[in-house]
Amino acid sequence: MTAGVPVGVGLDVLDRNELRALVTRDWFLRYCYAPEEIEQARALKGARRLEYLAGRFAAKEAVLKALGKGLLQGIAPRNICIGRAADGAPHVDLRAEAARAASRQAVRVSITHKNSVVAAAALLVRAE
């Protein structure tokens, strides 16, 4: 992995209970999450499902901020897919308008959970 030069940073913190009602709505899931994220969430039960979805949502918000965008500013959150690398670390896959906004730059993300609080940090890096 190349270190790269940082060109943008984003941070998001939320209480996962803020999403409790929203993640039961299909329109919200389709707008915010990539199909594979929805599939992964459906395999999880109860609190773990909410934790997973809240972590992904916070990571997407952090990525948007690193790109200099807000939630409703031209990039659908579903086009920021937060997967998992072979080592278990979160991996960002930018699609459609999110990929165009990154302009061949990479995004690194970190997600953390404590009790009901979820935080995510994103770093936009340009190759050296």
Picking from 66-70, 94-98, 112-116, which range would have the lowest pLDDT averaged per residue?
66-70
Alpha-carbon separation of residue 10 from 21, 64, 68, 70 (angstroms) = 25, 7, 8, 11
pLDDT at 1: 47
- The domain locations on the chain are 5-126
Question: Residue 22: pLDDT above 80?
Answer: yes
pLDDT at 70: 74
pLDDT band (50, 70, 90) for residue 42: very high
Residues 124 and 107: beta-carbon distance below 8 Å: yes
pLDDT at 2: 52
Please provide the average confidence, as pLDDT, over all residues in the chain.
92
Measured distance CA(68)–CA(101) in Å, rounded = 9
Q: Per residue in 51-86, pLDDT tens?
A: 999 999 999 999 999 999 877 768 999 999 999 999
Q: Which CATH architecture has domain 5-126?
A: Alpha-Beta Complex (3.90)
